[in-house]
Chains A and B, each alone.
Chain A
Amino acid sequence: MSAPTTVVSADRPVVSADAGATADRDELLAHFDAIVAEGGMIEPRDWMPDGYRRMLIRQIAQHAHSEIIGMQPEGAWLTRAPSLHRKSVLIAKVQDEAGHGLYLYSAAETLGVDRADLLDALHRGQQRASATFNHPALTWADTGTIAWLTDGAAVINQAPLCRTSYGPYARAMRRVCQEEAFHVRQGYDLMRALCEGTPAQKAMAQDAVDRWWLPAVALMFGPPDTEAGGTDARTAALGAAVSRRAMAWGIKRHTNDELRQRFVDQCVPQAERLGLTLPDPAIRWNEERGHYDFTPVGWDTYREALGDDTHWARQRTAHRRAAHEDGAWVREAAAAYAARENENENENVVEVAAENAAENAVVDARQREEEVS
């Protein structure tokens, strides 16, 4: 079999993965490139370059891990929410994050990896969640700030991913984005209540914004990837190369710095309405650019926060690992029970088959008797 087998799907020809082994790689790549160039979707059984698969697995896993690790800073406030309305909203939000983690692990599994292996990699520190969450949520206002700023940044980041070139990822992101948009509104509403409250409440809100602004601006969008975005040309060049690759494959649609600018432009008027000060003295409207100027993200800040050896980086992973290890006996019990149930079902199938056979034999015998008589 020298020619690639072409399977015709509902809307376009798809080159099957099995055929890929023997097919001419150039032809497969050309087919892949054409789909991406048309803005089409790559589906799990389509041929795809190894680098594309690796980049997606890495990105989707990191995104899934961020949802799961991101449950912690807010989850820590579930038992202390100061009103039952806010408590309900926060439970629903943390629950959504668990759900997003599950959609995304499922999307990653369509690329041939296993959720358990991805979680193991997270627990061993081989894969990471967004470093944004390697910051502590110190007050109740942090939950509002995380929802307003961090989820706000996530929506800006993720909205273009609803059109990303890999089908299962794009579909997962559509559901994720809808829910994230709610979280941002709820976070803003929580902050508004604090800002309209007592001076102590407003001070708590400002303190939280002072601590979460930089993590949101710097860490939610990735390293600078244009000359405009960073303070150091080498980092910007490295970032630009990665972004170019991701954009050529249709995984990304915009540079990190474009999205970062969009985020700043969105937040400045919101902060003004709340009466809060964003902790960057360089923020001012630039008439010529039609955007807000802000302090370029320093690579040192970024690298420092990325380190594994900080209290919170260690703590987040340790919390996850402890939950996983403490729950091992429960998962083992569930697996043993499921295996036994399957066995019983199979036995039942055999028993039913045997009963049917016996019944048929009786019917046959009766028919024969009738025929004879």
Chain B
Amino acid sequence: MPTSSDTRVDTAATGVATTTACTTAGADADLAVHLLRLGDDALVLGQRLCQWITRAPTIEEDLALSNIALDLIGHARTLLTRSGQLDGSSRTEDDLTFTRSDREFTNVLLTELPGDDFAVTVARQLAYTHYAVLYYEALAGCDDPELAAFGTRAAKEVAFHRMHADRWTLRLGRGTPESTRRMRRGLERVWPYTGELFAEDEVLRRLVAAGSVPSPAPLHAEWERRVTATVTDAGLTVPAPTWSAGGGRSGLHTEEFGPLIAELQSVHRQFPGGTW
């Protein structure tokens, strides 16, 4: 689509970010990609949290984790629905969830990591929720009224998830020698996967240049400051990983991802033409 991409280049070159730019087909396609990514993050993390329900350390935690999972699935539904409308395919939230292959999912690897140790789950929640609050708050300021409304609502919800993650980081960090050790290991496990949340690529750069969505990249410093405050408060240090994971945004996932998606889609795929 040379016309629309030209428009994008022009907009970027002149530095005039107007909302009209995102009404073109190309901008819609870009926005569809971006919202699909955000939706996949929420969906896959929600799916991982579902695996805790009935297995949590306390009944209160079964309740808390299901509450968070429910919110995340809610975010995924809004984002995937909008993505399917924008990409011209008219795919519904369920089409996108249950009929794509695992290579077509674009979530960050952070969300798909197995969280079978509670400390790993807490470390991931800490990283994700601090990012999500910042990003959804930024999204709340975008020109698209529907997206802005979603950002406002989602930011309020993830603020509660962040509080949950902060408190558990403190309890585990300052709990017993065993919990301190596990929390430290949990942070070390997930930290190399946090950079991907803030990565920018061509799609995102075009959207940002057009002024249609904010970039997560400039939020990294504030994120770092906030998570450092919590981790330090917990008597631990923020890991400084020597490597950074990536690939999720382009559909290159971990080997554990295939079984996760197979499980997610199993019933839906077992009944072709089924209505639910």
A residues bordering B, Cβ < 8 Å? 68, 71-72, 75-88, 91-92, 94-95, 98-99, 101-102, 105, 140, 193, 196-198, 200-201, 204, 319, 322-323, 326-334, 336-338, 340
Contact = CB atoms under 8 A, between A and B. Distances in A.
Contacts of A204: 271
B256 to A, nearest CB: 14
B78 to A, nearest CB: 10
A327 B175 CA distance: 14
B54 A87 contact: no
Interface in B189-246: none
Q: Lowest 7 A-B CB distances belong to which pairs?
A: A327-B57, A333-B175, A333-B179, A330-B57, A95-B66, A75-B54, A83-B276
A82 B176 contact: no
B263 to A, nearest CB: 5
Contacts of A334: 171, 175
Contacts, number: 144
Contact of B171 (A78, A80, A198, A333): A333
A94 B276 contact: no
Interface stretch (B91-99, B107-115, B133-141, B152-160): B91-99
B177 to A, nearest CB: 10
Contact of A79 (B47, B56, B171, B176): B47
B176 A88 contact: no
Contacts of A193: 275-276
B178 A83 contact: no
Contacts of B66: 91-92, 94-95, 98
28 contacts: A71-B53, A79-B47, A79-B50, A82-B267, A82-B274, A82-B276, A88-B70, A88-B73, A88-B74, A95-B70, A101-B59, A105-B59, A193-B275, A198-B272, A198-B273, A198-B274, A201-B271, A327-B56, A327-B61, A327-B118, A329-B179, A330-B61, A331-B58, A333-B172, A336-B179, A337-B170, A338-B171, A340-B174
Given A82-B98, A82-B276, A83-B276, A200 B74 contact: no
Contact of B62 (A84, A92, A98): A98
Contacts of A78: 50, 53, 69
* A contact patch SS: helix
B172 to A, nearest CB: 5
A335 to B, nearest CB: 8
Contacts of A80: 263-264, 266-267
B126 interface: no
Contacts of A91: 50, 53, 66, 69-70, 73
Contacts of A82: 98, 267-268, 271, 274, 276
B21 interface: no
Interface string B41-60: 00100010011011111111
Nearest to B181: A329
Interface residues of B, number: 49
Point out which of A78, A94, A319, A332 has the most chain B C-beta atoms below 10 A from its C-beta.
A78
B63 interface: yes
B76 interface: yes
Nearest to A339: B175
Nearest to B266: A80
B274 A201 contact: yes
B178 A333 contact: yes
Nearest to B96: A84
B67 interface: yes
B164 interface: no
B77 interface: yes
Contacts of B179: 329-330, 332-333, 336
Contacts of A71: 53-54, 62
A140 B174 contact: no
A95 B43 CA distance: 18
Given A81-B267, A95-B63, A329-B182, A197 B274 contact: yes
A68 B274 contact: no
Point out which of A75, A77, A333, A336 has the most chain B C-beta atoms below 10 A from its C-beta.
A333
A323 B175 contact: no
A340 B172 CA distance: 13
Contacts of B271: 82, 197-198, 200-201, 204
Nearest to A81: B267
B71 to A, nearest CB: 10
